[in-house]
Structure 1
Amino acid sequence: MQTTETTYLFRPVNQAELDKIASSDWTKFPPRLPEQPIFYPVMNEEYAIQIAREWNVPAYGVGYVTKFAVNTNYLKKFKVENVGAEIHNELWVDADELEEFNNNIVGKIEVTKEFR
């Protein structure tokens, strides 16, 4: 039996995004808004916590951290982008590739943290 190697990624989300994830049975992220050309999952939970707490809570009143597994071979097509300090690593997925990205999620998206 062949098993797929996976990599865990994290994504900070607000309540509206979380509701859409839940409506997909926890299997995919919602399409990006027109002003959001990139979907950027992050490489570690510490960075996702920072975004959820420092950006999402002030902007939306709540921030969640999600964790999910993605097919490792699929992720090889993306370059890890560092956008600040050592922990600030993310992948930049063009909005028009989000459906393909979602198809490479293995298992369910789970909430690991909530901040208010």
Structure 2
Amino acid sequence: MRAFPPRLPDQPIFYPVLSEEYAVKIARDWNVPASGSGFVTRFQVRRSFLDNYSIEKAGGAAHSEYWIPAEDLDLFNRAIVGKIQIVAEFHQRK
């Protein structure tokens, strides 16, 4: 995978997080109950792109993330270096 899909109409911001621990929490504890599955990805983004955005704290220092407006997602995708890797996945138990 080399790019993230467009945001849904009710998702005006893309929130790439900065720690795997936080990504696991989101995927496992929030996404699985909401949609049945959650994925943790790892990827690199050019610093020249990220320098245009601030690191936001969503409830504490361990919850650091960028807030990328949905209209900037194409630019974000072009700034990804290499492939997007899935490093963990979680699914609802049947």
TM over 0.5: yes
**Long gaps (5+) in structure 1:** 1-25
Is 1:49 the counterpart of 2:24? The answer is yes
Is 1:107 the counterpart of 2:72? The answer is no
Q: Tell me the equivalent position of 1:64.
A: 39
Q: Tell me the equivalent position of 1:95.
A: 70
Is 1:76 the counterpart of 2:32? The answer is no
Q: Tell me the equivalent position of 1:23.
A: none
After superposition, the CA RMSD in angstroms is: 0.8
Q: Percent identity?
A: 53
Which runs of at least 4 in structure 1 moved beyond 3 Å after TM superposition? Answer: none
TM-score by length of 1: 0.76
* Matched residue count: 91
**Long gaps (5+) in structure 2:** none
